[in-house]
């Protein structure tokens, strides 16, 4: 007996392009979740970020966490993030997806070891562009551009 369409699972009715967009956005959210976690500890050698990030983006995030650790800082709180896909190539079965976002970092701030806020800068909204690449059937954020505060 052949399986019914409902037995095939939630991906059965999605096109390859829709699956790619879903998986790229999952990598984007995973990148943020992992970055928030390692920034809270200052452990720039934590390998978990590599699950969702590669290339230039991975290097940039690790450098940011390292700089905080070197300066005796950890990040507390979390930024907002809700990326959306603006481009997918090739259209029928993408392996490159561009994601844009407007992330609010005003609740994700750096603190010193004594628990004091690093500075009185309130943070704010940053325009973000990310490039997700599919390699060996895995989506990872490979390029991440975070603009200055006030860009969205």
Token code pair at residue 70: 């070197």
Token code pair at residue 108: 């994700």
Q: Which of 102, 100, 101, 120 lies closest to 110, judged by CA?
A: 120
Phi, psi (5° rounding) for residue 47? -80, -10
- The predicted pLDDT at position 120 comes to 76
Domains of the chain in start order, with CATH, are 15-149 (3.10.450.240)
Phi, psi (5° rounding) for residue 25? -70, -35
Q: Which of 116, 53, 135, 139 lies closest to 65, judged by CA?
A: 53
- The predicted pLDDT at position 7 comes to 46
- The predicted pLDDT at position 65 comes to 96
Contacts of 115 (CB under 8 A, 6+ apart): none
10-residue averages of pLDDT along the chain (152 residues): 46 89 98 96 91 96 95 94 96 96 95 88 91 96 96 96
- The predicted pLDDT at position 10 comes to 57
Q: Which of 104, 145, 138 lies closest to 26, judged by CA?
A: 138
- The predicted pLDDT at position 122 comes to 75
- Hey, how many other C-beta atoms are within 10 angstroms of the C-beta on 17? 16
Task: Please give the model's pTM, rounded to 2 decimal places.
Answer: 0.88
Contact assessment for residue 17 and residue 91, using Cβ atoms and an 8 Å cutoff: yes
Contact assessment for residue 76 and residue 40, using Cβ atoms and an 8 Å cutoff: yes
- The predicted pLDDT at position 11 comes to 60
- The predicted pLDDT at position 9 comes to 54
């Amino acid at each position: 007996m052949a399986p019914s369409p409902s037995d095939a699972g939630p991906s059965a009715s999605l096109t390859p392009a829709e699956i790619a967009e879903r998986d790229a956005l999952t990598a984007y959210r995973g990148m943020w979740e992992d970055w928030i976690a390692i920034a809270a500890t200052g452990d720039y050698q934590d390998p978990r970020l590599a699950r969702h990030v590669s290339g230039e983006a991975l290097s940039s995030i690790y450098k940011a966490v390292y700089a905080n650790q070197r300066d005796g800082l950890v990040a507390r709180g979390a930024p907002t993030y809700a990326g959306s896909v603006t481009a997918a190539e090739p259209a029928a079965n993408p392996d490159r997806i561009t994601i844009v976002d407007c992330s609010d970092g005003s609740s994700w701030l750096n603190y010193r070891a004594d628990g004091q806020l690093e500075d009185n800068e309130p943070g704010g909204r940053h325009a973000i562009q990310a490039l997700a690449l599919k390699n060996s059937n895995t989506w990872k954020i490979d390029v991440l551009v975070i603009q200055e505060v006030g860009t969205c």
